[in-house]
Structure 1
Amino acid sequence: MLVGMDRFIGAETEYGISTPSNPVLSPIVTSTHTVVAYSIARGFGEHRVRWDYEQETPLRDIRGFDLRRYHQAPVVDPFSMGVANVFVSNGARFYVDHAHPEYSSPEVNNAWDAMVYDAAGDHILMQAVSDVASFSSQDHSVLDGHPPCPPLKIYKNNVDGKGASYGAHENYRYARDLDFDVLAQALIPFFVCRQVIIGAGRVGLGQHGDKPGFQISQRADYIEQEISLETTLNRGIINTRDEPHTNADNWGRLHVIIGDANMSHSSNFLKFGMTALVLDAIEAGVDFSDLRLAHAVAEVSRVSHDLTLSHKLELVDGRRLSALEVLGVYRDRVAKYATTAKERELLELWDEVMQLLATDPLSTSHILDWTAKLALIRSFETRGLSIDNPKMQLIDLQYSDIDPARSLYHALVNKGRMRTLVSQETIAQAAATPPTNSRAFFRGQMMEKFGEAVLAANWESLIVQASHEDPIRIATTELDGLTQEVIGELLDKASTIDEVIAGLERAGATSLAKLKTT
């Protein structure tokens, strides 16, 4: 088994989108406006990068079967409504997915950077909102046949209040030879319980939120199975999508769909960091089978609905432990795998949060999302507002507003009532520049310097048009390949795409293939 390697991490956030002045306007249209306006404002003009589906296998299951709909990769018109796609200069993908603007962060090799580049998505979305407003103020539409887009509101949340949930997915590279059943059973208790630390908080119980109350997690009531390939229905605690986006002989990609979208830096750092350490321990052979739950799916909502954190989960061996007690076992067993300074910082934060939650959950309201939101809710309850008052749902929504001028989360930050881990300047920098130690460096730099030459792309390759007659596919298969160390000097010196291709051929840094055009 491949152990001791970098734990590459990425996140995918589907943002909520609305147009208050025209609430019936299709989110497919507004999401397309958002991505296209951002693309044009960044200098791409009418050039849009087509998403290359050649290496996409979203219906292949790690358990050995494939529900693929196509035997041939589909070619989708990049100018179709709801298809807008752009790669950002920081190596991220910004596109329309299921009627939401989605930000897929660049690949990074540690939890701290994962937190920073996830926050960079909020910055990019705010730039897009500003771009839309700028075009609209000139009475200019970026979409042919459509009027200018009205003012947009963007929310980093997971529910629409009408029964639908959208994702904040996490991705972690793991060693392919790790037995998936062992991996899944070790992770299920952890995923059920970690929500008491990384939950975003939600007003309303049940998928439609029609039962009065407050709960810890936005995603909990939408989890219906232990293990499932689905992401939009019959969602599982463990998702079995087998789409590694890298060398499939050596690596798998753990696609986590049970988490919430977080505003808090600490919640995000803990989400990525705790999970990465647990994966380190599993790959090192640490046994977590004694924590197997008797009724894992039911426990997801039970834990989420218990604001006192006193609920006892039933284990297969008959013991009953609280979510904090289960997490305490995980923390003790993974501690020795925290070898870097940031990982040790993560352990200290994990300990701090666990101790505060055990004393009084609301004592973490300066650190965690769900308790920060609950503290706001409680403050309005003391003024006579009941939990089933529609204004409470508005408070919930306003917390996740990414606009610093209107967001309740940002208001807490500005008042010194919410801890942050990095500055807005650092986040803005991450929104503009790629990480240096993953293949995202090459992707981001190519879009920044030679974006007009990029015809199509996916995570594993770029298709570029040089002066040759046929396009060329540049492989970006290895997550730790084409980093700044490997390719930085070449990209600095190159002034044309031809020079990039020639330099790659000389260096033997990756494979190149000519593609026949029809």
Structure 2
Amino acid sequence: MTSPVFARRIVGVETEYGITAVAGEGGSSLTPDEIARYLFRPIVDRYASSNIFTRNGSRLYLDVGSHPEIATAECDSLTQLLNHEQAGDVVVDELARRAEEALAADRIDGRVYLFKNNVDSVGNSYGCHENYLVSRHLPLRNLGKQLLPFMITRQLICGAGMVGRATGGYQPGFVISQRADQVWEGISSATTRARPIINTRDEPHGDSQRFRRMHVIVGDSNMSETTFALKVGATLLVLEMVEAGVALPDFEMHNPIGHIRDIARDMTGGTLLDLKAGGTVTALEVQEATLAAATQWLEERPDEGTPTAELRRVVDLWTRQLEAIRTQDFSRVDREIDWVIKLNLLNRYRERLGEDWGHPKLAQVDLTYHDIRPGRGLFPLLESRGLAERWTTDEAIHAARDTAPETTRARLRGQFIARAEELGVPVTTDWVNLKVNEPEPRVVELLDPFVPVDARVDELLAYLEESAAARG
């Protein structure tokens, strides 16, 4: 049985957004750098930085390549994480709308587009990274080896799908995952240079004697709430089983990264994977065996963190998606799984166009699927019309827009930031530290991400009041 602290697990997601601006007729195009400056102008004007923590506990910043990025606050349950991930879309869309107003004020007729996807029109990739807190006693490389078979086949259940171009001997066609062609190693300390499936850089953002942070780079950004829930929920279940010592089938492979691109191009799940112990197994069989173990694990897991009832919803969707792949009848999941929803859309356009996968209209549909703007993006339009299932609610998402998770360390950070903004007192924050800068610097270090209440932070908040009074 797992220890209670890891039945309740801290998890977070980092989402990078693609950005572009389209000028009106006769207008000049804006570079990503230029539009990013418009996007972050209100942030820089207020905080003198393009890298801040917000009152909901999340980090908002401008990443390399002019990509807006949001790293969610620490969450300890699946739906809580989904609410905060979706709130990130609301935050950056608000910035995009303000950027459009600033462009208009500068007499530039421009529309700002933010895309929650992973590959731009010329093939540059940007990520959606998942972070799972794990026990320090588990060597990350050994954990990674156990997880790699699940990770390279996970795209079958939660890929975002895309129109794949001709590359590396592959013909143009539909690809299940946007990230499959962008990762080059199984386990590595690099991120951009090697792009591993699991990053081993040891940054726990907490007590390094107790915690590790498993940084997963291989996942696609999901528009569908239900696909996101399946992606994270299935991974949470596998991690719980590994930490609990549940005997999982041995699917260790000679060359796991060598199979990932083939899996992405085989919607039947029939890609054969060479096992280190000899023999082969299909990608679908890896997922089915993992699902069987997870189904059994639900009968004994501690009902902490993400409620077991919620994880049963995950397992139900996981089961239906694998049945759909096995039978090639996707009618029971065609409103819940991103790549299935997108493939159906693209196939309808292909029938109308009478063209192969190389038609530019298909690439346009693919991209528009990921436009986060309500009323404009294809997926938000499907969702508004009830053609895509929901996992959460607009009310919960908008509550997460301004409120940190109440059950983790993020609550303390959110309280601190909100009060400092109200008082106009300069402070500095990161994942671990809360600092009042003047009159005399005071810092509180928060090494336990599970703790939402701390008397030291109460004292720091009182010092904030003193600092505000001293400033007049």
Aligned residue for 1:463?
435
Counterpart in 2 of 1:360? 328
The equivalent of 2:413 in structure 1 is 443
1:266-316 C-alpha deviation (Å, 9 max, x unpaired) = 111111111111111111123446111233111110100112322232222
Structure 2 residue 159 is the aligned partner of structure 1 residue 157: no
Which residue of the other structure, out of 359, 384, 400, is the alignment partner of 1:430? 400
Q: What TM-score do the two structures reach when normalised by structure 2?
A: 0.88
**Aligned counterpart, 2:341:** 372
Alpha-carbon offset, residue 428 of structure 1: 1.4
State the Cα distance separating 1:361 from its structure 2 match: 5.5
| Gap regions ≥5 residues in structure 1 | 49-77, 79-83, 140-146, 502-518
Structure 1 match to 2:186: 226
State whether residues 314 and 320 of structure 1, in contact with CA within 8 Å, keep that contact through their aligned partners in structure 2.
Answer: yes
Per-residue deviation, residues 156-181 of structure 1 (Å, max 9, x unmatched)? 00001323110100000000011223
The 5-angstrom pairing of residues 274-313 of structure 1 reads 274-288=234-248, 290-313=250-273
| Per-residue Cα deviation, 1:99-154 (whole angstroms, up to 9, x for no partner) | 20001111101122112211111111111112222333334xxxxxxx97943100
Deviations 1:167-200 (A, max 9, x none): 1000000000112232011110010011011100
**2-side partners of 1:180 and 1:278: how far apart?**
14
Per the alignment, residue 196 of structure 1 pairs with 156
Amino acid in the other structure paired with 2:436: V
Contact 2:187 2:197 (8 Å CA) reproduced: yes
Where do residues 178-189 of structure 1 align in structure 2 (5 Å cutoff)? Answer: 178-189=138-149
1:389 and 1:165, CA in 2 relative to 1: closer, same or farther beyond 3 A?
A: same
Correspondent of 1:116 among 57, 60, 83: 83
The offset of 1:243, in angstroms, is 0.7
Asked if the contact 2:79–2:392 (Cα under 8 Å) also holds between the matched residues in 1, the reply is no
Do the aligned partners of residues 315 and 500 (structure 1) sit closer, same or farther apart at CA in structure 2, a change above 3 Å counting? Answer: farther
The C-alpha deviation readout for 1:486-511, integer Å capped at 9, x for no partner, is 579959x967714699xxxxxxxxxx
- CA distance in 2 between partners of 1:209 and 1:113 (Å): 42
- Partner residue, 2:14: 12
d(CA) in 2 for partners of 1:373, 1:107: 30
Tell me the SS of whatever aligns to 2:348: helix
User: Is the 8 Å Cα contact of residues 203 and 209 (structure 1) preserved in structure 2?
Assistant: no
CA displacement 1:290-347 (0-9 Å, x = unmatched): 1112331111101001123222322223333322221121122233255322222222
Alignment of 1:381 onto 2:350? yes
How far the C-alpha of 1:95 sits from its partner, in A, is 0.6
Distance in 2 (alpha carbons) for counterparts of 1:121 and 1:464:
26
Looking at structure 1, the residues matched to 170 and 323 of structure 2 have their Cα atoms a distance apart, in angstroms, of: 33
Equivalent runs, 1:366-515 vs 2, <5 Å: 366-383=335-352, 384-451=354-421, 452-466=424-438, 468=439, 470-481=440-451, 483=452, 486=454, 490=458, 497-498=464-465
Q: CA deviation at 1:353?
A: 2.4
Residues 294, 406 of structure 1: alpha-carbon distance in 2 compared, 3 angstrom cutoff: same
Root-mean-square deviation (CA, aligned residues, Å) is 2.7
Partner Cα distance (1:29, 1:476) in 2: 37
Contact 1:447 1:454 in 2 (8 A): no
C-alpha distance in 1 between matches for 2:168 and 2:63: 22
> Which whole-Å CA distance do the structure 1 matches of 2:253 and 2:242 have between them?
17
Query: Equivalents in 1 of 2:129, 2:391: separation in Å?
Result: 22
Q: Helix, strand or coil for the counterpart of 1:453?
A: coil
Identity %: 33
311-320 or 121-130: bigger deviation: 311-320
8 A contact 1:30–1:149 mirrored in 2: no
TM-score normalised according to structure 1 size: 0.81
Q: Does structure 1 retain, via aligned residues, the 8 Å contact 2:432–2:446?
A: yes
C-alpha spacing 1:361/1:486, structure 2 compared with 1 (3 Å):
farther
For residues 447-481 of structure 1, give each alpha carbon's deviation from its aligned partner in whole angstroms, at most 9, with x where no partner exists. 22213324322111122234x3x322221221012
Matched residues, number: 450
Match of 2:316 among 348, 351, 369: 348
Match in the other structure for 1:27: 32
User: Kindly tell me: are residues 251 and 2 of structure 1, through their superposed partners in 2, closer, same or farther at Cα, counting changes over 3 Å?
Assistant: farther
> Which runs of 5 or more residues in structure 2 are unaligned?
none
